Structure 1
Amino acid sequence: MKIRPASAADGDRLAALLLPVIRAGESYALPRDMSAAAALAYWCAPEKDAFVVEDDGGAIVGSYHLRANQAGGGDHVANAGYVVAGAARGRGVARAMATHSFEHARARGFRAMQFNFVIASNTRAVDLWQSLGFAIVGRLPGAFRHPALGDVDALVMFRSLVDR
Protein backbone atom coordinates (compact mmCIF):
# COMPACT_ATOMS: atom_id res chain seq x y z
CA MET A 1 0.00 0.00 0.00
CA LYS A 2 1.06 3.55 -0.71
CA ILE A 3 -0.39 6.51 1.19
CA ARG A 4 -0.01 9.88 -0.51
CA PRO A 5 -1.68 13.29 -0.58
CA ALA A 6 -4.87 13.35 -2.65
CA SER A 7 -4.72 15.43 -5.81
CA ALA A 8 -7.28 16.91 -8.19
CA ALA A 9 -6.44 14.08 -10.60
CA ASP A 10 -7.86 11.62 -8.03
CA GLY A 11 -11.32 13.22 -8.14
CA ASP A 12 -13.28 10.55 -10.03
CA ARG A 13 -11.64 7.63 -8.22
CA LEU A 14 -11.98 9.32 -4.85
CA ALA A 15 -15.66 10.08 -5.48
CA ALA A 16 -16.16 6.41 -6.44
CA LEU A 17 -14.74 5.48 -3.03
CA LEU A 18 -16.69 8.05 -1.01
CA LEU A 19 -20.15 7.87 -2.59
CA PRO A 20 -21.03 4.24 -1.68
CA VAL A 21 -20.20 4.98 1.97
CA ILE A 22 -22.21 8.20 1.93
CA ARG A 23 -25.15 6.54 0.14
CA ALA A 24 -25.21 3.67 2.66
CA GLY A 25 -25.77 6.24 5.41
CA GLU A 26 -24.36 3.97 8.11
CA SER A 27 -21.21 5.75 9.24
CA TYR A 28 -21.24 9.44 8.27
CA ALA A 29 -23.80 12.11 9.13
CA LEU A 30 -23.91 13.41 5.57
CA PRO A 31 -26.83 13.73 3.15
CA ARG A 32 -27.20 10.34 1.47
CA ASP A 33 -27.99 12.01 -1.85
CA MET A 34 -24.84 14.15 -1.79
CA SER A 35 -23.42 14.75 -5.27
CA ALA A 36 -19.92 13.66 -6.23
CA ALA A 37 -18.84 17.31 -6.41
CA ALA A 38 -20.23 18.02 -2.93
CA ALA A 39 -18.63 14.88 -1.50
CA LEU A 40 -15.24 15.86 -2.91
CA ALA A 41 -15.65 19.46 -1.71
CA TYR A 42 -16.43 18.17 1.80
CA TRP A 43 -13.65 15.56 1.89
CA CYS A 44 -10.96 17.75 0.35
CA ALA A 45 -11.97 21.14 1.80
CA PRO A 46 -9.13 23.67 2.03
CA GLU A 47 -8.81 23.29 5.81
CA LYS A 48 -8.28 19.53 5.47
CA ASP A 49 -5.24 17.51 4.47
CA ALA A 50 -6.65 14.68 2.34
CA PHE A 51 -4.77 11.47 1.57
CA VAL A 52 -5.47 8.41 -0.56
CA VAL A 53 -4.29 4.83 -0.20
CA GLU A 54 -3.35 2.98 -3.35
CA ASP A 55 -2.94 -0.78 -3.51
CA ASP A 56 -0.10 -2.39 -5.43
CA GLY A 57 -2.12 -2.10 -8.66
CA GLY A 58 -2.71 1.64 -8.21
CA ALA A 59 -6.38 1.38 -7.21
CA ILE A 60 -7.57 3.78 -4.50
CA VAL A 61 -8.69 1.54 -1.64
CA GLY A 62 -8.92 4.10 1.14
CA SER A 63 -8.77 7.76 2.03
CA TYR A 64 -8.57 9.93 5.09
CA HIS A 65 -8.62 13.62 5.84
CA LEU A 66 -7.21 15.49 8.80
CA ARG A 67 -7.94 18.93 10.21
CA ALA A 68 -8.01 20.84 13.47
CA ASN A 69 -10.98 19.73 15.56
CA GLN A 70 -11.64 23.29 16.74
CA ALA A 71 -10.24 26.77 16.17
CA GLY A 72 -8.37 28.95 18.64
CA GLY A 73 -7.85 27.26 21.99
CA GLY A 74 -8.78 23.86 20.57
CA ASP A 75 -6.58 23.93 17.50
CA HIS A 76 -3.97 21.61 19.04
CA VAL A 77 -6.41 18.67 18.76
CA ALA A 78 -6.81 16.97 15.39
CA ASN A 79 -9.92 15.46 13.87
CA ALA A 80 -10.02 12.98 11.00
CA GLY A 81 -12.34 10.94 8.82
CA TYR A 82 -11.53 7.61 7.16
CA VAL A 83 -13.08 5.54 4.36
CA VAL A 84 -12.08 2.09 3.14
CA ALA A 85 -13.34 0.51 -0.09
CA GLY A 86 -15.69 -2.41 0.58
CA ALA A 87 -13.47 -4.86 -1.29
CA ALA A 88 -10.43 -3.78 0.75
CA ARG A 89 -11.92 -4.23 4.23
CA GLY A 90 -10.03 -6.57 6.50
CA ARG A 91 -6.71 -5.95 4.71
CA GLY A 92 -5.23 -3.46 7.20
CA VAL A 93 -6.05 -0.34 5.18
CA ALA A 94 -7.79 1.45 8.05
CA ARG A 95 -5.01 0.64 10.51
CA ALA A 96 -2.38 1.86 8.01
CA MET A 97 -4.30 5.11 7.48
CA ALA A 98 -4.70 5.58 11.23
CA THR A 99 -0.99 5.14 11.86
CA HIS A 100 -0.16 7.50 8.99
CA SER A 101 -2.67 10.06 10.26
CA PHE A 102 -1.18 10.01 13.78
CA GLU A 103 2.29 10.71 12.36
CA HIS A 104 0.97 13.41 10.03
CA ALA A 105 -0.94 15.02 12.90
CA ARG A 106 2.17 15.02 15.11
CA ALA A 107 4.19 16.57 12.26
CA ARG A 108 1.59 19.34 12.04
CA GLY A 109 1.92 20.01 15.77
CA PHE A 110 -1.29 18.36 16.99
CA ARG A 111 -1.05 16.93 20.48
CA ALA A 112 -4.20 14.81 20.51
CA MET A 113 -6.92 13.47 18.24
CA GLN A 114 -10.66 13.54 18.82
CA PHE A 115 -13.47 11.92 16.88
CA ASN A 116 -16.71 13.77 17.55
CA PHE A 117 -19.27 11.39 16.07
CA VAL A 118 -18.30 7.70 15.80
CA ILE A 119 -21.43 5.68 15.13
CA ALA A 120 -21.69 3.09 17.91
CA SER A 121 -23.09 0.43 15.57
CA ASN A 122 -19.91 0.71 13.46
CA THR A 123 -18.22 -1.83 15.72
CA ARG A 124 -15.27 -2.42 13.36
CA ALA A 125 -14.33 1.26 13.65
CA VAL A 126 -14.95 1.42 17.40
CA ASP A 127 -12.86 -1.72 17.98
CA LEU A 128 -10.04 -0.39 15.77
CA TRP A 129 -9.93 2.99 17.49
CA GLN A 130 -9.91 1.40 20.93
CA SER A 131 -7.10 -0.96 19.89
CA LEU A 132 -5.12 2.13 18.84
CA GLY A 133 -5.49 3.85 22.20
CA PHE A 134 -8.70 5.85 21.82
CA ALA A 135 -11.01 6.08 24.81
CA ILE A 136 -14.74 6.63 24.62
CA VAL A 137 -15.13 9.92 26.49
CA GLY A 138 -18.74 10.62 25.63
CA ARG A 139 -21.91 8.98 24.37
CA LEU A 140 -24.66 10.84 22.53
CA PRO A 141 -27.79 8.72 22.98
CA GLY A 142 -29.75 8.18 19.77
CA ALA A 143 -27.85 10.97 18.00
CA PHE A 144 -27.55 9.16 14.64
CA ARG A 145 -30.46 8.06 12.45
CA HIS A 146 -29.21 4.75 11.02
CA PRO A 147 -31.11 3.65 7.89
CA ALA A 148 -31.58 0.07 9.12
CA LEU A 149 -31.21 0.23 12.90
CA GLY A 150 -33.08 3.44 13.68
CA ASP A 151 -31.64 5.85 16.23
CA VAL A 152 -28.25 4.70 17.48
CA ASP A 153 -25.71 6.29 19.78
CA ALA A 154 -22.76 8.32 18.57
CA LEU A 155 -19.49 8.21 20.48
CA VAL A 156 -16.90 10.86 21.21
CA MET A 157 -13.45 9.25 21.18
CA PHE A 158 -10.11 10.76 22.19
CA ARG A 159 -6.43 9.88 22.36
CA SER A 160 -3.24 11.74 23.09
CA LEU A 161 -0.57 11.96 20.40
CA VAL A 162 2.10 12.98 22.92
CA ASP A 163 4.36 10.50 24.66
CA ARG A 164 3.77 10.84 28.36
Structure 2
Amino acid sequence: MEIREATPQDWPAIYPFWSQIVEARESYVYPLGASSDEARAIWMQAPPAHVVVAVDGDGVLGSATMGPNKAGPGSHVATGSFMVGPEAQGRGVGRALGEYLIDWSRRSGFRGIQFNAVVETNAPAVHLWKSLGFAVIGTVPEAFDSASHGLVGLHVMYQKL
Protein backbone atom coordinates (compact mmCIF):
# COMPACT_ATOMS: atom_id res chain seq x y z
CA MET A 1 0.00 0.00 0.00
CA GLU A 2 1.19 3.48 -0.88
CA ILE A 3 -0.05 6.79 0.53
CA ARG A 4 0.28 9.68 -1.88
CA GLU A 5 -1.19 13.11 -2.48
CA ALA A 6 -4.66 12.91 -3.98
CA THR A 7 -5.21 14.25 -7.48
CA PRO A 8 -8.44 15.38 -9.15
CA GLN A 9 -8.36 12.08 -11.07
CA ASP A 10 -8.77 10.19 -7.74
CA TRP A 11 -12.13 11.78 -6.94
CA PRO A 12 -14.27 9.35 -9.03
CA ALA A 13 -12.82 6.50 -6.92
CA ILE A 14 -13.25 8.35 -3.60
CA TYR A 15 -16.80 9.65 -4.03
CA PRO A 16 -18.61 6.28 -4.06
CA PHE A 17 -17.29 5.24 -0.64
CA TRP A 18 -17.43 8.83 0.67
CA SER A 19 -21.13 8.94 -0.20
CA GLN A 20 -21.84 5.45 1.12
CA ILE A 21 -20.16 6.18 4.47
CA VAL A 22 -21.84 9.57 4.91
CA GLU A 23 -25.28 8.24 3.95
CA ALA A 24 -24.94 5.41 6.51
CA ARG A 25 -25.20 8.10 9.26
CA GLU A 26 -22.84 6.31 11.65
CA SER A 27 -19.62 8.29 11.54
CA TYR A 28 -19.64 11.68 9.81
CA VAL A 29 -21.43 15.00 10.18
CA TYR A 30 -21.20 15.84 6.49
CA PRO A 31 -24.43 16.79 4.66
CA LEU A 32 -26.63 13.93 3.56
CA GLY A 33 -27.42 13.75 -0.14
CA ALA A 34 -24.30 15.69 -1.19
CA SER A 35 -23.70 15.59 -4.92
CA SER A 36 -20.27 14.63 -6.20
CA ASP A 37 -19.42 18.31 -6.72
CA GLU A 38 -20.61 19.28 -3.23
CA ALA A 39 -18.70 16.40 -1.62
CA ARG A 40 -15.55 17.19 -3.62
CA ALA A 41 -15.64 20.78 -2.31
CA ILE A 42 -15.83 19.42 1.25
CA TRP A 43 -13.14 16.76 0.91
CA MET A 44 -10.67 17.91 -1.74
CA GLN A 45 -9.77 21.21 -0.13
CA ALA A 46 -6.99 23.46 -1.37
CA PRO A 47 -3.82 24.17 0.65
CA PRO A 48 -3.12 24.57 3.48
CA ALA A 49 -5.21 21.39 3.53
CA HIS A 50 -3.43 18.22 2.45
CA VAL A 51 -5.45 15.40 0.89
CA VAL A 52 -4.04 11.92 0.39
CA VAL A 53 -5.16 8.54 -0.88
CA ALA A 54 -4.09 5.06 0.12
CA VAL A 55 -3.69 2.95 -3.01
CA ASP A 56 -2.58 -0.50 -4.04
CA GLY A 57 -3.05 -2.67 -7.11
CA ASP A 58 -6.81 -2.65 -6.45
CA GLY A 59 -6.96 1.15 -6.73
CA VAL A 60 -7.97 3.72 -4.11
CA LEU A 61 -8.57 2.04 -0.74
CA GLY A 62 -9.14 5.13 1.38
CA SER A 63 -8.49 8.83 1.71
CA ALA A 64 -7.68 11.42 4.33
CA THR A 65 -7.87 15.17 4.42
CA MET A 66 -5.82 17.12 6.94
CA GLY A 67 -4.68 20.61 7.77
CA PRO A 68 -5.06 23.31 10.40
CA ASN A 69 -8.00 22.76 12.73
CA LYS A 70 -8.72 26.49 12.85
CA ALA A 71 -7.29 29.62 11.25
CA GLY A 72 -5.17 32.35 12.80
CA PRO A 73 -4.26 31.81 16.45
CA GLY A 74 -5.56 28.22 16.29
CA SER A 75 -3.60 27.20 13.20
CA HIS A 76 -0.85 25.44 15.16
CA VAL A 77 -3.22 22.50 15.86
CA ALA A 78 -3.94 20.07 13.02
CA THR A 79 -7.06 18.07 12.30
CA GLY A 80 -7.96 15.28 9.92
CA SER A 81 -10.79 13.20 8.52
CA PHE A 82 -10.47 9.67 7.21
CA MET A 83 -12.52 7.35 5.04
CA VAL A 84 -11.75 3.78 4.08
CA GLY A 85 -13.77 2.03 1.43
CA PRO A 86 -15.90 -0.77 2.90
CA GLU A 87 -14.09 -3.45 0.86
CA ALA A 88 -10.72 -2.27 2.28
CA GLN A 89 -11.75 -2.08 5.94
CA GLY A 90 -9.83 -4.32 8.31
CA ARG A 91 -6.69 -4.21 6.15
CA GLY A 92 -4.77 -1.53 8.11
CA VAL A 93 -5.67 1.31 5.76
CA GLY A 94 -7.12 3.53 8.52
CA ARG A 95 -4.07 2.94 10.73
CA ALA A 96 -1.69 3.77 7.87
CA LEU A 97 -3.61 6.99 7.12
CA GLY A 98 -3.63 7.90 10.84
CA GLU A 99 0.12 7.31 11.13
CA TYR A 100 0.60 9.42 8.00
CA LEU A 101 -1.41 12.28 9.58
CA ILE A 102 0.69 12.18 12.75
CA ASP A 103 3.97 12.18 10.80
CA TRP A 104 2.77 14.87 8.38
CA SER A 105 1.56 17.06 11.27
CA ARG A 106 4.93 16.80 13.05
CA ARG A 107 6.87 17.56 9.85
CA SER A 108 4.55 20.50 9.16
CA GLY A 109 5.23 22.05 12.58
CA PHE A 110 1.86 21.50 14.24
CA ARG A 111 1.87 21.32 18.06
CA GLY A 112 -1.06 18.91 18.36
CA ILE A 113 -3.90 17.19 16.50
CA GLN A 114 -7.57 17.65 17.39
CA PHE A 115 -10.45 15.60 16.09
CA ASN A 116 -13.62 17.64 16.59
CA ALA A 117 -16.29 15.00 16.06
CA VAL A 118 -15.58 11.30 16.59
CA VAL A 119 -18.91 9.52 17.01
CA GLU A 120 -18.76 7.73 20.36
CA THR A 121 -20.50 4.62 18.98
CA ASN A 122 -17.93 4.31 16.16
CA ALA A 123 -15.92 1.82 18.22
CA PRO A 124 -13.36 0.94 15.52
CA ALA A 125 -12.42 4.62 15.06
CA VAL A 126 -12.31 5.38 18.79
CA HIS A 127 -10.14 2.30 19.36
CA LEU A 128 -7.81 3.19 16.48
CA TRP A 129 -7.30 6.78 17.59
CA LYS A 130 -6.66 5.74 21.20
CA SER A 131 -4.13 3.14 20.01
CA LEU A 132 -2.33 5.92 18.08
CA GLY A 133 -2.06 8.10 21.20
CA PHE A 134 -5.21 10.23 21.06
CA ALA A 135 -7.30 10.83 24.18
CA VAL A 136 -10.95 11.74 24.54
CA ILE A 137 -10.86 15.21 26.12
CA GLY A 138 -14.59 15.77 26.08
CA THR A 139 -17.86 14.50 24.68
CA VAL A 140 -20.75 16.60 23.44
CA PRO A 141 -23.85 14.63 24.51
CA GLU A 142 -26.45 13.72 21.88
CA ALA A 143 -24.67 15.77 19.20
CA PHE A 144 -24.94 13.10 16.49
CA ASP A 145 -28.07 11.39 15.17
CA SER A 146 -26.89 7.85 14.41
CA ALA A 147 -29.05 5.76 12.10
CA SER A 148 -28.75 2.72 14.38
CA HIS A 149 -28.25 4.23 17.87
CA GLY A 150 -30.26 7.45 17.81
CA LEU A 151 -28.76 10.48 19.55
CA VAL A 152 -25.20 9.77 20.68
CA GLY A 153 -22.22 11.84 21.75
CA LEU A 154 -19.41 13.28 19.68
CA HIS A 155 -15.95 12.90 21.20
CA VAL A 156 -13.34 15.60 20.91
CA MET A 157 -10.03 13.74 20.74
CA TYR A 158 -6.54 15.22 21.02
CA GLN A 159 -2.90 14.29 20.78
CA LYS A 160 -0.07 16.61 21.73
CA LEU A 161 2.88 16.43 19.33
Q: Name the structure 2 match of 1:50.
A: 51
Please, which moves more after superposition, 44-53 or 121-130? 44-53
2:19 matches 1:19: yes
Q: Secondary structure at the match of 1:80?
A: strand
What is the aligned length? 160
Q: Secondary structure at the match of 2:46?
A: coil
The structural deviation recorded for 1:58 is: 4.3
The structural deviation recorded for 1:46 is: 1.5
2:123 matches 1:94: no
Name structure 1 gaps, 5 residues minimum.
none
Q: Name the structure 1 match of 2:132.
A: 132
2:144 matches 1:158: no
CA distance in structure 1 between the aligned counterparts of 2:27 and 2:17, rounded to whole angstroms: 14
Q: Secondary structure at the match of 1:87?
A: helix
- Shift >6 Å, 4+ stretches: none
CA distance in structure 1 between the aligned counterparts of 2:153 and 2:46, rounded to whole angstroms: 30
Name structure 2 gaps, 5 residues minimum.
none
Q: What is the alpha-carbon root mean square deviation over aligned residues? A: 1.0
- Share of identical aligned residues, percent? 38
Q: Name the structure 2 match of 1:115.
A: 115
Assess if the C-alpha contact under 8 Å between 1:136 and 1:155 holds in 2: yes
CA distance in structure 1 between the aligned counterparts of 2:34 and 2:13, rounded to whole angstroms: 16
The structural deviation recorded for 1:105 is: 1.1
CA distance in structure 1 between the aligned counterparts of 2:38 and 2:107, rounded to whole angstroms: 29
The structural deviation recorded for 1:17 is: 2.5
Q: Secondary structure at the match of 2:121?
A: coil
Q: Name the structure 2 match of 1:74.
A: 74
CA distance in structure 2 between the aligned counterparts of 1:32 and 1:71, rounded to whole angstroms: 26
